[in-house]
Homo-oligomer: A and B are copies of this chain.
Amino acid sequence: MTTAAKLNIVPFVSVDSMMKLVLAIGVERFLTELAAYIEEDFRRWELFDKTPRIASHSHDGVIELMPTSDGRLYGFKYVNGHPKNTREGLQTVTAFGVLADVGSGYPMLLTEMTILTALRTAATSAVAAKYLAPNGARTMAIIGNGAQSEFQAIAFKAITGIDRLRLYDIDPSASRRCAKNLAGMGFGITICSSGQEAVEGAEVITTVTADKQYATILTDNMVGSGVHINAVGGDCPGKTELHRDILLRSDIFVEFPPQTRIEGEIQQLDPDHPVIELWQVMAGKVAGRSSDKQITLFDSVGFATEDFSALRYVRDQLQATGLYEELDLLADPDEPRDLFGMLLRAGAKEGVVA
């Protein structure tokens, strides 16, 4: 097949290929390299065409499209959020995404993004913590030990040096599973019986619970001075994890303010409450952590540029690993204006009249 004849092909990374890709690269290295892509894109934040995600809400959940572009590449992610799904043996969140060439409009990559989103969320948290966590932090509490928890732990280990975990989940079996999954990876792990116990001695507190409701995973008295809070679970309207008083004591760092004010912990605050844009910290325009006493809060909701970075990273691994399939996605008639003729010729080949 000549190159010209393959204009119809879009590389596709299936779930199976993504797992093989992560295993081939190694999850720690994958997270570290992905974090570098995310950081690189945050640093050139101003180049991006940014828009809040386009959401279609229904009784049971939401389906969202998250597009962005840096002017050369265009990416979007399809992602749903349906908390009731777990009761039916389905995932709460599934996702896939596409990277395309802005110059031709042709898609260049279609990939599963359920696993990839888990990885990019963790990598983003860890990159933020690199600028915001106390110097030399080694202990992290993880409250909520579901699908995201192991990825957070490994990303923090790889990127910030966290190696002691204090796990708490209202479902103790979730904590046990998390500890088991992380066994042998170099963590000292303590399973705790309350959130209060989990935060004891922790320099970083990660909240990553899943219920779609206003919750108070952390109360004000649980958060001592100097701590970095990585608030991951509050990520849609009506879903928060932190008591409002904690927010008032913290310096709050966000991805894209128009989106975070709707979806993040700061939906609890006045719409003009001051926040700091994470990209400005990474670009060296404003300080990250500036004192030992400061409470820093990364109000993570997940933004389209992070998915864009993840799509770029996966695209860049394809050639070396060969872990993709060729998808016949784009009609490519031998003569560009003759779409119908292509159909006729396909019919002639099979002896069928259109």
* A66, closest chain B residue (CB): B65
Q: Mark A326-354, 1 if CB is under 8 A from B, else 0.
A: 01111111001111111110110010101
Question: A96 to B330, alpha carbons, bound, how many Å?
Answer: 8
Residues in A44-82 with C-beta less than 8 Å from chain B = 49, 51, 54, 56, 58, 60-63, 65, 67, 69, 71, 74, 76, 78, 80-82
Contacts of A341 in B (CB 8 A): 177, 181
**Cβ-based interface call for A272 (8 A):** no
Contacts of A18 in B (CB 8 A): 331
Stretch binding the partner chain, chosen from A101-109, A133-141, A195-203, A274-282: A101-109
Contacts A8-B15, A15-B328, A354-B27; A69 near B90 (Cβ below 8 A): no
For residue A157, give the distance in angstroms from its CB to the closest CB of chain B: 13
Contacts of A69 in B (CB 8 A): 56, 58, 63
Assign chain A's interface to a size class. 35 or more
Contacts A65-B76, A106-B80; A340 near B151 (Cβ below 8 A): yes
**Cβ-based interface call for A12 (8 A):** yes
Residues in A18-35 with C-beta less than 8 Å from chain B = 18-20, 22-24, 26-27
From B19, B88, B340, give the contact of A346 (CB < 8 A).
Answer: B19
Contacts A14-B329, A181-B341, A339-B114; A104 near B86 (Cβ below 8 A): no
Question: A350 to B82, alpha carbons, bound, how many Å?
Answer: 32
Contacts of A307 in B (CB 8 A): none
Contacts A78-B107, A331-B15; A343 near B102 (Cβ below 8 A): no
For residue A249, give the distance in angstroms from its CB to the closest CB of chain B: 32
Question: A132 to B347, alpha carbons, bound, how many Å?
Answer: 33
A15 touches B67 (CB 8 A): no
* A80, closest chain B residue (CB): B105
Given A63-B102, A80-B100, 14 more pairs with CB closer than 8 A: A8-B15, A15-B330, A15-B332, A19-B343, A22-B354, A23-B346, A23-B347, A49-B56, A51-B54, A60-B104, A76-B78, A82-B103, A91-B332, A115-B343
Q: Would you list the 9 A-B pairs with minimal beta carbon distance, nearest first?
A: A80-B105, A114-B331, A150-B340, A14-B328, A147-B339, A19-B346, A146-B337, A23-B352, A82-B105
The contact sample of 29 A-B pairs, CB cut-off 8 A, is A4-B89, A7-B89, A7-B90, A12-B327, A15-B330, A16-B346, A22-B354, A23-B346, A23-B354, A27-B343, A56-B102, A58-B103, A61-B105, A63-B69, A63-B100, A63-B105, A85-B105, A86-B337, A91-B332, A94-B105, A94-B106, A94-B330, A115-B339, A147-B336, A147-B337, A147-B338, A147-B339, A149-B340, A177-B341
